[in-house]
A and B are shown apart, each in its own frame.
Chain A
Amino acid sequence: MPGPLADVTVLDLTQYITGPYATKLLADFGADVIKIERPGGDPARQLPPFKGGEPHPEKSGTFFFFNTNKRSVVLDLKSPAGRDAFGRLLDRADIVVESFRPGVLDRLGLGWDYVKSRRPNVPLVSITNFGQDSPYADYKGSDLVLYGFAGEMYSMGIASRGPVKMYGTAALVESGAAASTAIMGALMVGRGQGVGQHVDFAIADSHFGGVDRRHATVIAYQYSGRKTPRPEGGAQGLANGVYPCADGFVEFAVAYIRPDRLADMLGKPDWFDDPKWTVPGASANPDLIEEFNGNFLVWLVQRTKREVFAEARRAKVLCGPLFTVEEMFADEHFRGRGFWQPVEHAELGAFEMPGRPFTMPASPWEIRRPAPLLGEHTREVLSEAGLAGAELDALVGVPA
């Protein structure tokens, strides 16, 4: 059964993390994503972790993850022959996605004016740090830089230290997920109405306008004048935060809003009968918190994180165990649901990776091919576009 986008061809000029995650989502749901790489390849091929730890352009776990189901075509867009081949590919594409700095594609002669003149119905989606027309349009970014600026990183961590980011490139992946909706929207207008357009997607904007706290801190300041500083650290309130247990940590949140459930979880149904626990403000009363923690911490350290989680599930209390990646990989819930996807790759061998972002039974997610080797599909794809003979040989690097 083909994925929903099996009738879509994407010309993908994106590099690194954000753009490739957006186009991976389309590729994994059936789109033919033609990844155009410069000679030497997407710089993400140089990013760790590498299989075995040694840098190698075909052994990057980062590149692999973000490029499944794509076909790799190496083109030197600075050469007339490369640009001509790009035009031939554009003739067969439904959408173009790129992540160069603003102006780069124009300077290559392949920007929006070119796309529009050759294929007026085909949208061009540009993914950049700050957008095409920002006063910071030319500024450089990174996961840390963009998230610190546009996301709610300032209030993460503790007051006695500086702000601290999310893991790895989490913020860029979020923006990739947001960008995928922009691509899909542009595609719908392009195909459905025959209207192409140059969509300007800025990573920074997708964090200012995202859902993880920033929208709320900015409006709270306007409403009340209250700022959101970093906290002093540690769990706060009644069963609210990260707590130690027998073999690690567990996280609770606002468990006090359902004291009946919390009491049930602790196996002490009458624990919160005293009205002092439920008067407004009780969860912020330091004396009550100390009294509660005296009992709660004893209960926690007698149990493993899985045991605490099981009791919380039974009593419907908001709780999660702090797993390592290894523990999540082994966990029976995700194993049983078939989340992990087996894959095979010429250089990386056989292994498992995180699977579908969502299930679509009538048009399923599927790994049809691993991430491509550099230029693996140059000949194949350019042949499909009608190139042949010496012209094709020259483009795939066969000496004349």
Chain B
Amino acid sequence: MATLPLAGIRVVDLCVVWAGPFATMLLGDLGAEVIKVENPFVFQPMTRGGMARPPAPVLPALVAWSGGYPNSQPGPRPWNYCPTFVQVYRNKKSFTVDLRRPEGMEILRRLIEKSDVVVENNAVDTLSKLGVTYDWLKTIKDDIIMVRIPAYGLSGPYSEARALGTHLESVMGHTLLRGYPDLDPSNNTTIFSGDYMSGTQGALAVMMALWHRQRTGEGQLIEVAQAENASPMFAQAFMDYTLNGNVQGATGNQSVHGFVPSGVYPCVSLGTPQEAGDHWISITVTSDEEWQALRHEMGDPEWTAGLDSAAARLAAQDQVDESIAAWTAQFEDYDLFHRLQAAGVPCAPVLEASRVLDDAHVNARGLYKKQRLYDDIGEHQYTTPFYRFPETPATVYQPPVAFGEHNEYVYKEVLGVDEEEYERLRDAGHISMDYDASVP
């Protein structure tokens, strides 16, 4: 019987926010045993919530994906189901230990001894202050693989800068490259595509390092500098600059490859944009053949005359967009989607989050699955691994994990801690399923 690619590999997860936890989740999806190391006395901001116990009255003022807790209430253990983070806890185990105390560091040392990989993406000085360095890890396990995912790198003038993914996008040029061409960049929504890039490539780095270790017996320290790592997303802008000296600006929904039309067009809406009731369809015509198909579906209107070539359409881009928008506005987005795709035109509804679980593709592919968490907040649909490996299926074998859910398992089964020591550590506060009352 074949096993998942990373079966038998143990990963120590010292990650925060999104990038690192996404990397380790992918490793868990692929079969690694991922163990989150958490501390009842230290709440890492933006990892299990903005704060451990957000006051209920604050929640409505937060953006939905931050303040949208179950029934809009923080409940008894908000850190286990903060909507911002709960979906990156799948296929992981969690145990707690206070690394600020020597006996806590000793527990970590014992865990490292039995592990293959350590992944972390804290501010650069955070772990070194605790004494958790690659050199230290190597003294415990000579072939350890350590993947660090700092914002700007472990060296250089920005290495200490605090950053979320959105700041790295600013520095890499993305915030000036995206958004409406006629408005200033303060109208750009905060996004975190760099977390996606460094999360996936952090996971790739772990697998490549395991491949190398298999052949040579050698571990290594890998540095994923997020502000470098994500730059391929802007490949065309970098290449245009380095080859031609062109400094590109924001291009909205236009195609960087000159395809026209390329845009987002209105459809029949159910409500206002403020209530997220507006519906849109995106269309990209990538060839003259697709243009003829679109033209035919629109009924060969007069305004399309003379627009057979890509160059002609490019020159008339604004008028083309306006005319298409007037046409699409008569239709329901899904109706138009199926009709235009049947004619060979690339398009799809711009799907607002509340509609995702109703989509035929999402359901046919099983992208979401009903699950219950450790805490009793009812049944909800959580994401599943995007890997489709028929011989070695990637499944959800652990729903998004609660803080300290695997304390018994990690201490007793992995580390071989006896009952007496377990109780001593629990009494000293290392072992808990709650943040200490001193944590806000």
Contacts and interface: CB of A to CB of B under 8 A. Distances in A.
Contact of A189 (B87, B203, B361, B392): B392
Contacts of A257: 45, 50-51
B220 A362 contact: yes
Residue among B63, B232, B284, B384 with the highest chain A CB neighbour number at 10 A: B232
Interface in B177-231: 177-180, 183-193, 195-197, 199-205, 207-212, 214-216, 218-225, 227-229, 231
B350 interface: yes
Given A165-B178, A251-B175, A358-B205, A134 B64 contact: no
B3 interface: yes
Interface in B236-258: 236-244, 246-248, 251-253, 255-258
Nearest to A17: B235
Contacts of B305: none
A227 B211 contact: no
A280 interface: yes
A131 B207 CA distance: 24
Interface stretch (A78-86, A316-324, A387-395): A316-324
A144 B255 contact: yes
Nearest to A214: B353
A21 B236 CA distance: 13
Contacts of A155: 189, 276, 352-353
A167 B228 contact: no
Given A66-B235, A230-B189, 13 more contacts: A5-B208, A53-B244, A156-B189, A160-B273, A166-B193, A168-B234, A177-B204, A216-B85, A226-B68, A228-B276, A325-B241, A337-B228, A354-B235
B164 A188 contact: no
Contacts of B262: 142, 144
Contacts of A21: 232
Interface of B is mostly: mixed
B303 interface: no
Interface stretch (A231-239, A268-276, A377-385): A231-239
A244 B224 CA distance: 30
A246 interface: no
Contacts of A53: 244
A358 B241 contact: no
A145 B192 CA distance: 19
Contact of B204 (A49, A181, A224): A181
Contact of A141 (B170, B246, B348, B387): B348
B385 to A, nearest CB: 7
Given A284-B61, A333-B157, A148 B264 contact: yes
A173 B166 contact: no
Contact of A159 (B58, B257, B274): B274
Interface in A216-260: 216-224, 226-231, 233-235, 241-244, 249-251, 253-254, 257
Interface string B132-163: 00000000000000010000110111101111
Nearest to B59: A224
6 contacts: A4-B211, A219-B65, A226-B67, A318-B167, A320-B161, A337-B225
A321 B241 contact: no
B155 to A, nearest CB: 6
B275 interface: yes
A292 interface: no
Interface stretch (A34-42, A57-65, A69-77, A102-110): A57-65
B280 A357 contact: no
A351 to B, nearest CB: 5
A216 B67 CA distance: 10
A-B pairs with the 5 shortest C-beta distances?
A: A61-B239, A320-B167, A220-B68, A284-B61, A217-B353
Interface residues of B, number: 182
Nearest to B125: A316
Contacts of B84: 216
A167 B81 contact: no
A376 interface: no
Given A142-B262, A358-B229, A253 B164 contact: yes
Contacts of B66: 216, 220
Contact of A281 (B61, B164, B195): B61
A210 B18 CA distance: 10
A323 B156 contact: no
A326 B242 CA distance: 9
A162 B81 CA distance: 31
Interface string A181-219: 110111111001101111111101110111111111111
A217 B229 contact: no
A359 interface: yes
Contact of A226 (B64, B197, B388): B64
B391 interface: yes
B324 interface: no
B203 to A, nearest CB: 5
Contacts of A231: 189
A29 B205 CA distance: 10
Interface in A316-359: 316-329, 331-334, 336-337, 339, 348, 351-359
Given A166-B191, A197-B390, A230-B189, A184 B237 contact: no
A337 B228 CA distance: 10
Contacts of A87: none
Contact of B383 (A198, A208, A284): A208
Contact of A313 (B46, B54, B158, B203): B158
B173 A357 contact: no
A91 B390 CA distance: 23
